[in-house]
Amino acid sequence: MDVEILARIQFAFTVAFHYIYPPMSIGLGIVLVIMEAMYLRTKQRMYKHITKFWVKIFALTFAVGVATGIVMEFEFGTNWATYSRYVGDVFGSPLAAEGIFAFFLESGFLAILVFGWNKVGPRTHFISTVMVALGATLSSVWIVVANSWMQTPAGYHIVGEGLKARAEITDFWAVVFNPSSMQRLTHVILGAWLTGAFVVISISAYYLKKKLHEEFAIRSMKIGLVVAFVAMGLQFISGHSSGNGVAKNQPEKLAAFEGHFQENAPADLYLFGWVDSENQKTKGIAVPKMLSFLVHGSTDAPIKGLKSFPKEDLPPVQSSFQFYHLMLVCAFLMTLICIAAGWLWFRGKLWTNKTMLNILTLSVILPHIANQAGWFAAEVGRQPWIVYKMLRTSEALSKSVTANQVLSSLIMFGLVYLLLFVLFLFLLNEKVKAGPFAKADTSEEYRDTGEDVAPWVNKITRERVETTNGQ
């Protein structure tokens, strides 16, 4: 295998693995802010226990996110040196801004969020939680701005020729607010909220299924569900506007997403299908002309098909199509789950419905698949460009790095990340098994609150849960 494909696999693998964690941190960050705000408002101890437990889950995901994140920052230089030289003038600033405005905030206040419960007052602690959540969100802002610039470059000009050519910034705000950045940022952040919400929903559902820590689980799940409802609803609007953005800014990508070949014909919206590139046809179940309607508001509006573009500028159609549709399937399933859970909650039956609790326990996989598939669709759909219409991926590599070097490091990352993933799942499982009232947390503070905590922990009964629901 040549350096190009190996370097691409390495980047895809390391960033995909990394991206298991940040959406959980960003999403849980928001959830933690809500939980701790409820604690400050209601002064109920239970919310403090809720916050503390989810902080532990947050800290675990954050640790792996940090460890795998450093790799990303170095990899542009190690594997994509020509890219770094070519666009560093534009692309470097968002990365530096991420460090100054996001990482310091996140990691600094994390110290108080995790270790500071007895060191600072409740308000200062709450502010720290807000700062950590803000830092996590800001880091996604700068990264998505940087990536969106690769999708829809703006605010630059090319200086020099041949080997010396490079992009230089002309308008910083045009770089930040490039045509796709705000749509894509909204889409990414809502995806992260869904991920965080479903982590909470899933673990809470597991407790309810096992009849453990029920009051804790119900209250946590309510917060998780509300965040999921809001994020899911907004995600439809955001997804629609992102789609329209792709239609306008990257028509090849849209055509690949929908497997639309005809040059200037109305396009169908596939539910699922298979692209037959040889015969330039897509087979599957589709809503006729629906894509035209979604993009242009008219079923007869033509959409540029894959045949209208030079072959060497087309992304791999099959994988773009499948990743994109996989994301949609997950969105569809998450919507169904949200509606069903909302309905059962409204009827007061959610907390005891075994089938639904089983589904909810497993549901955490959906936002993760959607995140991954969505990013793969976005990045594969940008090919063969590393920066759309500016620099080809094949021209962006490090000239001095050999295939063997990339292969060795790829194997190294493969083994290390496998180990990390196994350990992460093991520890997550341990944390969940230990539960929110684990021994480490039951020291002095726990004892002196015996009165209002004990009933939740020990004496809670089914009847009590049901009366709560009946209200």
Partner 1 sequence: MDLNIIWFVLVGVLLTGYAILDGFDLGVGALHLFAKGDKERRILLNSIGPVWDGNEVWLVTGGGALFAAFPHVYASVFSAFYDAFMLLLLVLIFRAISIEFRSKYPSPKWRKNWDIAFSVSSYLIALLAGVALGNIVVGVPLDKNHELHTSVLDLITPYTVLVGITTVALFMMHGAIYLLMKTEGEIQARIRVWVQNSMIFFIMCYVSLSMITLLYVPHMAEKLRQQPLFFLVALINMLAVANIPREITKNRPTNAFISSSVNILCLMGLFAIGLFPNIVPATDPANSLTIYNAASSTKTLNIMLIFALLGVPVVLAYTISIYWIYRGKVKLDEMSY
CA 384, CA 466: separation in Å to the nearest integer?
58
Residue 114 as a binder of partner 1 (CB under 8 A): the answer is yes
Residue 427 as a binder of partner 1 (CB under 8 A): the answer is yes
Q: Is the dihedral of CA 128, 202, 462, 353 positive or negative?
A: positive
User: Checking DSSP bridges between strand 385-387 and strand 269-276, what pairing results, if any?
Assistant: unpaired
Please list every residue from 407 through 426 that binds partner 1, using CB under 8 A.
Answer: 408-409, 412, 416, 420, 423, 426
Q: Count residues contacting partner 1 (CB under 8 A)?
A: 78
Residue type, 13: F
Please list every residue from 322 through 381 that binds partner 1, using CB under 8 A.
Answer: none
Comparison of 67 and 359: residue with beta carbon closer to partner 1: 67
Comparison of 257 and 437: residue with beta carbon closer to partner 1: 437
In this structure, are residues 387 and 87 in contact, taking their beta carbons and an 8 Å threshold? yes
CA 430, CA 440: separation in Å to the nearest integer?
13
Residue 95 as a binder of partner 1 (CB under 8 A): the answer is yes
Measured CA to CA in angstroms, residue 400 lies from 5, 71, 79 at distances of 16, 19, 9
Please list every residue from 381 through 410 that binds partner 1, using CB under 8 A.
Answer: 398-402, 405, 408-409
Site string for partner 1, 33-72 (x = CB under 8 A): --------------------------xx--xx-xxxxxx-
Residue 174 as a binder of partner 1 (CB under 8 A): the answer is no
In this structure, are residues 78 and 398 in contact, taking their beta carbons and an 8 Å threshold? yes
DSSP state of 393: G
Residue 279 as a binder of partner 1 (CB under 8 A): the answer is no
CA 468, CA 471: separation in Å to the nearest integer?
6
Comparison of 66 and 333: residue with beta carbon closer to partner 1: 66
Comparison of 248 and 433: residue with beta carbon closer to partner 1: 433
Q: Which residue from 215, 263, 276, 441 is in contact with partner 1, where contact means CB under 8 A?
A: 441
Q: Which residue from 15, 16, 34, 84 is in contact with partner 1, where contact means CB under 8 A?
A: 84
Comparison of 53 and 351: residue with beta carbon closer to partner 1: 53
Spatial neighbors of 266 by CB under 8 A, at least 6 apart, are 289, 291, 292, 299, 300, 301, 302, 303
CA 270, CA 273: separation in Å to the nearest integer?
7
Long-range contacts (CB closer than 8 Å, 24 or more residues apart) made by 285-292? 291/258, 291/260, 291/266, 291/267, 292/266, 292/267
CB of 468 to partner 1, least distance (A): 29
Residue 117 as a binder of partner 1 (CB under 8 A): the answer is yes
Report the length, in residues, of the chain. 471
Comparison of 76 and 207: residue with beta carbon closer to partner 1: 76
Please list every residue from 14 through 33 that binds partner 1, using CB under 8 A.
Answer: none
Residue type, 86: Y
Residue 81 as a binder of partner 1 (CB under 8 A): the answer is yes
Angle at 428 between CA 422 and CA 429, to 5 degrees: 90
Residue 234 as a binder of partner 1 (CB under 8 A): the answer is no
Q: Which residue from 108, 284, 384, 414 is in contact with partner 1, where contact means CB under 8 A?
A: 108
Q: Which residue from 1, 104, 287, 450 is in contact with partner 1, where contact means CB under 8 A?
A: 104
CB of 414 to partner 1, least distance (A): 12
CB of 7 to partner 1, least distance (A): 11
